[in-house]
Structures are given as C-alpha cells and as structure tokens.
Chain A
Amino acid sequence: MERVLMKGNEIIGEAAIQAGCKLFFGYPITPSTEVIEYLSANLPPKGGTVLQAEDEIGAINMCYGAACTGNRVLTASSSPGISLKQEGISFAAAVELPMVLVNVNRCGPGLGGLGPAQSDYFQSTKGGGHGDYRLIVLAPSKAQELYDYTMEAFDLADQYRNPVMVHTDGFLGQTMEPVVLKERPQAPDVNKDWIVTGAKNREKRILASYSLTNEVGEANNIAWENKYKEIQDKEQRWESFHTEDAEYLLVSYGTTGRICKSTVLNARKKGIKLGLIRPITLWPFPEKGIKPLLNQIKGILTVELNTGQMIEDVKLAAECKVPVKLYRRQGGMLPTEDEILENLEKIFQPEESGEVRN
C-alpha cells in the first residue's frame, strides 16, 4: 500500500477515524494540539463530531457520556491536561466505559516544558486518579505504531470494557514519518448489552459507580480485579531485539526504545552481547518478556526520560536475580545512542567477547 507522510499527532487522528471513532472531546494543548486540529477538519465529513470543551474536565465528562451510549470516543491531551482529566478517568474505569485516551507527554511536574518526556509513567500505569483501577497503556515508538496501536486501542477498550491510554511524547507527536494507512482489521465482535440508549421495551440499565453497601463494594472490586488479572495474563506485549544470546539487556519504550535499538546495533559491532526488551504495553507490564532471560543476562539497564519510574516494574520482573540500573535524561532532553552505550559500559564493564555483527 501507498505510504503517506504525516505528523505523529495527525496519524493518531486518522487512526481514530479508521477505527470508527465518531466522537472527539478535548481541549487543545501543545504538543498534542494537532490531534484535535486534524480531527476538526476530517472527522465531521465522515459523520462524526469534534467538540472543543470549556476545559479538560468538561471534555473527559463528555467522553464519559458518549461512552455510556456505546459510541467509540477519543480524547487527547498532554501531561497537565491529562492530570485534569484524572477524576473522570477514575469514574470511567469504575463504570467500565470503553474510551481511548491519548497522552502526548511533555515534561513535568507542573506546567513543565514541551520537550519529550516519560514522566507520566506512574500516572498512566499505576492509576493516576483515585481508587484501585488500571488502564491498558500502549506505548508506540514510531509513526506506523502510532497508527496501528491507536486503532487497536479502540478494540481493546471495547473488548475489556475499559479505558485504554496511548502513551506517547511530543517528539513522536511532532515528527513526520511515512505511514501506511491500513484498513481497519476486523474488530472483535463485542455485544454491548450494557449501554444506555433508552429503555423502551426492555429492562432499565444503570451505569453508576457508587455502591451502597461495603459488601457490594467489595464484590465490585473483586470483579474489576479479576478483569485486570485476565488482561495481565493475555495482553502483555513487547518487542525483543537481539535478545537470543544477550548478556546485558536494555529495557526502554517509546522514543528511547527506538534510540536503544541503535545502541544495541552499535554494541554488537563491538562484540558486546546487548539486547533490548521494548515494552509495547506499559500496563500490563511485559514481565513475560524479561523473566525467561534472567538466567542468561548479567545486568539490566532501563533507559527512561524521568527519574526512574519503569525501573520499579523491571526490578519486580527481575526478582533480584540480576542488577537493574537506570540511565535517564529529563526536562525534554533525549539521549543519543552512543551516550547510552557509554553509560552501559561504565556501569557494567561488559566483555567484548561476542561475534562482531555489522
């Protein structure tokens, strides 16, 4: 199929249209503004609606309402805007509403800066809002993945009746790369027998997140817990890159995940047996990608754009069997591939004993 050249944020918008998203509610913020800009021009002609709400809180609650009717709905924002949406996201998780949320990360805390960051990892994967809930979190690392994963996010949201977040950053959002706008794959057959669209000739349905007794409350929590366990069991995704014979491992996602691929190739040229696990789902965290390697590797370096957030999940997966260290940049700065390799060498002093792969 023909390739087109598009900005990452526009690709997210196009993927949503292809996935059958009919409604977008949001409030513009750099560096995610092109999502609403693109959809404003391109969703209405396809029969959809784009509405710029009075603020992020209004936007997320409009998403809540739209999802209650069973329509595919999207919102997109950047870090401070996503913070404002957290209460609504918690409510959507409690009512089990499928919706897709895009966070084009900028750096924080506070207003922060516009540069690429991964400082919202905790917020995306550990809850963010109040209460004990999980989002499915997908982390694309290039244009084609922005397209594919955004489209898939809608299917996962419907399948598990759960909000799904696409976790990306300003660098990927602003960069233009070629992308193939593939047709939407067959969507899973989901019976939305819970939507509220008028109860004429059928029994009344209620979508509410309040439980009147503690017994009902616990039963709800257990039902959600079981759903999260099922997702953890079935939906862990990652890419393994040169891991077969790896003695050292990088773990990194998104923009730094792809930079680390160049690091691995440069290390292999020197005979250093380096591999990479690139998490595609940040939640559920792909521990299944890491555990089988624990007996063959001598050390893990996580590469992140924060003070070390994902490293906690990597350490849990590593079960104290190998040392897990961090290399990070912050505030909108990106590491180069050589900088990562230099730091890996400094930390682990790996032998250059492997076959030299050019």
Chain B
Amino acid sequence: MMDKVIMAGFGGQGIMFLGKVLAYAGMTTDLELCWIPSYGPEMRGGTANCSVILSDEEIHSPVVDLADAVVVMNQPAYERFKSRVKPGGVLIVNSSLATTDNKREDITIIEIPASEIANNLGNASIANMVCLGALLPNMRLADWESVEKTMEKLTIKRPEFLQGNLDAIKKGIEFAN
C-alpha cells in the first residue's frame, strides 16, 4: 500500500512543512517514506511544491507522476497540479485563494476555505495545517493519531504552538468529513 501526495502553493505558506509533518508521521508508524522538495532558485513569494510518498513496503521509484492526493494552496498551484491527480484521487483546494473551473469529474474535489478558517482561528499562517486536516481522512497511511504524535515532537522546543496547530488540523478534518 502506498500514498503519494503532492503539495503546492506560495513560498511561505508552509508547503514544505506540511510535507514534513506527513513524513514524520510516517516515521512514527515505521513506514517507508520519501520527502521530496522542489529545489532550485526559489524564494519567499515564489512557488513551492513538494511530494511525499508513504509506503508499507520498500519505495523504489521516488518519482510522483500521478498522486493519490494533491493539495493546492493558491491559484497557480491549482492550474499547474490539477492534472496530476490520479483518476479516483482527491484534490484539496484552498478556496480562499483559488477558484476551480472546468472541474475534473474523475476525481473528488474538496474546496476548503483554509486561509479563512486559519484567520478565524487567529493565525493566518496555519492554513497549511487546515489543509493537512482536510487531507487526512483521504490518506490510508497517515491519520490523526500519527499526526498528533508528530506535532507534539515537532513543537517540542516551542510548545506554545502545539494547540493552535492541532486546532487547525481538527477544523480541516471536520470540514472534509
């Protein structure tokens, strides 16, 4: 069993971190995994994307052509990555910053106003965690438990950030369910 996920948005939206949470969640459950950043002459405000593979067996090819799930956090990311969802897969769109057109009918599209939800929680920078929440019910190899454990570890030096992040993830899960 394998989950291939692509995440994309503006640099600064926490795309790489979103991927890292998934990757570390895979570490807590002893999965095989790859966290693959787009790297290059990129900077804040440019585009950022990364892909994560979680698997219960050895990962040979690390190339994610078509993904089981794609998270896009802005309009350019939607335009660029909507075609990269496997038929039957899931596309999670931050509808606060992206509008969908010519919707594909062979995939499930979840339009979640992640930036708005994050603003209402009082922290605009956790829209990525809201998207992570919306993603979780659509993953086979990551769930609330492994992500909660991961967030505890990742915020160990800044424990004041834990609850806000967990609240954001929960909002996302509620929306997707």
Contact = CB atoms under 8 A, between A and B. Distances in A.
A5 B35 contact: yes
Nearest to A5: B27
A263 B61 CA distance: 8
Interface string A305-336: 00000000000000000000000000000111
B32 interface: yes
Contacts of A176: 20, 23, 34-36
A338 B86 CA distance: 14
A133 B27 CA distance: 44
A115 B62 CA distance: 15
B101 interface: no
Contacts of B63: 259, 334-337
B35 A265 contact: no
Nearest to B66: A336
Nearest to B20: A176
Contacts of A334: 63
A262 B58 CA distance: 10
B65 A336 contact: yes
A31 B63 CA distance: 18
Interface in B37-54: 37, 39-41
A138 B34 CA distance: 22
A175 B61 contact: no
Contact of B62 (A175, A178, A265): A175
A259 B39 contact: no
B16 to A, nearest CB: 10
Contacts of B103: none
Most chain A CB inside 10 Å of its own CB: which residue of B24, B36, B39: B39
B80 interface: no
A177 interface: yes
A261 B35 contact: no
B36 A261 contact: no
Most chain A CB inside 10 Å of its own CB: which residue of B20, B27, B35, B60: B60
B134 interface: no
A113 to B, nearest CB: 8
B7 interface: no
Contacts of B62: 171, 175, 255, 258-259
B36 A171 contact: yes
Contacts of B23: 5, 176
A274 to B, nearest CB: 13
Contacts of A114: 39-41
A200 interface: no
Interface in B58-78: 60-63, 65
Contacts of B34: 175-177
Interface of A: 3, 5, 30-31, 113-115, 170-171, 174-178, 255, 258-259, 261-263, 265, 334-338
9 contacts: A5-B33, A30-B40, A31-B39, A177-B34, A178-B32, A259-B60, A263-B61, A335-B63, A338-B65
